[in-house]
Structure 1
């Protein structure tokens, strides 16, 4: 299966990378962390965040035992799109799981894994779903979008979902995955951290708990049928065993990643942030805390 002809392409050793001519990203470096200023994304865009996202990917896969909820195994040569592909890890794993598929990842930056990609059936393209997807109507059998609550303004979600639907074939599936920002039940420290997150996200129009609204967002699109929404409560902390320890590590890494920009933009006292950061660990253990992850699938008629 060929890649799309309307972009200037360069080939890696096996797969393809499609480079779109764009202006240089507007970024800022705070305490050694890189943040994009030209997109709404509220987390860093650097190697530390790449490592955290890869870690989070493997953690979620370990928890639910799969990379996808939608049933696509019956499709002979599926066309697959990952919107906001991040590190590209999901794309490469799906390419291995479905060797007859063409798996395409789109993000505002080409992932580092593309530099040494061996999978001939995988491709990456630079793009921003907020500006529209660079694909024709009815192209993909399966469109996947995960962990973009921190990247898409709340008022853009209806338009983004229509764009996902546009590029999905009739009979194809759309799958959305969102992990809530809150670790519940909320203690004093957890409430403070959630408050900071919500304050900063509000400055960019982001709703970090958008996962709770996925059912309503999909229900507003009558062209989508067989809508199903699930949630998994994932343990956070050593009380939850190895998986709980790993998810706690992921959350703490995310909090550490936003500290510099919260200090800069919200005038949060660094010592106060550190005290809250440490106190949450104790709260998670005492309360047997969990993170809720939402999965939503829908079929285009």
Structure 2
């Protein structure tokens, strides 16, 4: 072999090695390998694994605030009684918390978070407010607020932004990946039937859309807990869907009838929202208000379209848990029934009711606000009651005086009328007498 041939073979070998290196680099660039498998890498990448990769997974105590303005939570390994974060299961493509509330049939995943967001903004548009209790002035000044069953914290995030001087806390049995919370918000994993707060801790207790997770007996327990943690003079407010479609078509009526049965077997009354007034009146609350708003489904413009979209997302979210119970007939699937119901809502111009109720715990400070939230006065309840009594007495005196004056004037008028009639009669009698004498 000549020198020229040897040089040619060497150049071919260099080209071949360069091609292999370039292919390897492309392979590593598109699909990097873990450093733990260092034996399979080229010699130039061989290195002992970093000790930071062997760090244990973070653990959290049960009472630790899982979500705060620091996101994600800081790892804490030294606290006692540490437990892992809740585990989840997947059913029919949707995520659910293991060992959760057996009555609550909605999932705990990103799609549900999106549905909650749409529902939140639809309700705000329908009511033109995020709350109804007369608390705007106090919220601006700074109070403590609790959101029971806060979910993905859409209400909390917006309220805490609108009222940065107030302190907001939320509790829920489910854990949602809540990010970018304002610094005046904290969320805990807790049960609404056993609120982890001392008595008289909050000025405002709020709950929305909890009717799918409570039985009728649990409603009273939750209400008692909310009243317990409420300060004297504080307000409590509940907002709930009625769980019934009005002016519904035959398929929609059948679907919601089956839903009522499926939830009723689990002890849940879907139309409990109508009883919010009774629930509030059964507790030591004053100035109770219970009203409702009707929202269109699939008609009346953009709002109706969005409300129907929320309803459809809700019905499809229930499919993994009770879809088989409702569509037990193989010829009729749950998806078909939901699709037909959604179309019927547009055709029949269906609608739903959303109820809200609020009341005040006696004692504390009495605030008076106008409809636009402007503060008129703020005085102790005892002084306010005395003034009300004095004003009522003065009003009664004025009314009595006016009534007496009116009666006197009427009596005088009647007396004058009687006197005039008597005079007329006497005149007539005198005239008759004179006529007789003349004859």
Q: TM-score, normalised to structure 2's length?
A: 0.62
Give runs of aligned pairs for residues 114-153 of structure 1, distance below 5 A.
115-117=179-181, 119-130=182-193, 132-153=194-215
Contact 2:66 2:189 in 1 (8 A): no
Give 1:186's aligned residue: 248
Q: Which has the higher helix share?
A: 2
| 1:29 has 2:90 as partner | yes
Displacement of 1:277: 1.5
1:244 aligns to what SS in structure 2? helix
In 2 relative to 1, CA 259–109 (structure 1 residues): closer, same or farther, beyond 3 Å? closer
The structure having more radius of gyration, on CA atoms, is 2
Give 2:126's aligned residue: 63
Q: Which has the higher strand share?
A: 1
In 2 relative to 1, CA 240–58 (structure 1 residues): closer, same or farther, beyond 3 Å? same
Give 1:257's aligned residue: 317
Give, in whole Å, the separation in 2 of the partners of 1:11 and 1:272.
Answer: 39
Contact 1:174 1:297 in 2 (8 A): yes
Give 1:80's aligned residue: 145
Contact 1:78 1:140 in 2 (8 A): yes
Higher relative contact order (CA 8 A, sep 6+): 1
Report which stretch shifted further, 24-33 or 197-206.
24-33
Give, in whole Å, the separation in 2 of the partners of 1:208 and 1:22.
Answer: 35
In 2 relative to 1, CA 155–27 (structure 1 residues): closer, same or farther, beyond 3 Å? farther
| 1:277 has 2:341 as partner | no
User: Alignment length, in residue pairs?
Assistant: 291
Give 2:107's aligned residue: 44
Question: RMSD of the TM alignment (CA)?
Answer: 2.5
In 2 relative to 1, CA 10–187 (structure 1 residues): closer, same or farther, beyond 3 Å? closer
1:43 aligns to what SS in structure 2? coil
Contact 1:182 1:291 in 2 (8 A): yes
1:176 aligns to what SS in structure 2? strand
| 1:98 has 2:163 as partner | yes
1:137 aligns to what SS in structure 2? coil
Give, in whole Å, the separation in 1 of the partners of 2:228 and 2:325.
Answer: 37
Q: Deviations over 1:235-254 (max 9, x none)?
A: 110x2210000000000011
Contact 2:316 2:335 in 1 (8 A): no
Displacement of 1:287: 2.2
Give 2:436's aligned residue: none
- Could you list the runs of 5+ residues in structure 2 that have no partner in the other structure? 1-61, 363-439
Q: 1:298 aligns with which of 359, 367, 370?
A: 359
Q: TM-score, normalised to structure 1's length?
A: 0.89
Q: Deviations over 1:200-230 (max 9, x none)?
A: 2123211111101101111111x11111001
Contact 2:242 2:354 in 1 (8 A): yes
Displacement of 1:141: 0.6
In 2 relative to 1, CA 169–199 (structure 1 residues): closer, same or farther, beyond 3 Å? same
Displacement of 1:45: 1.6
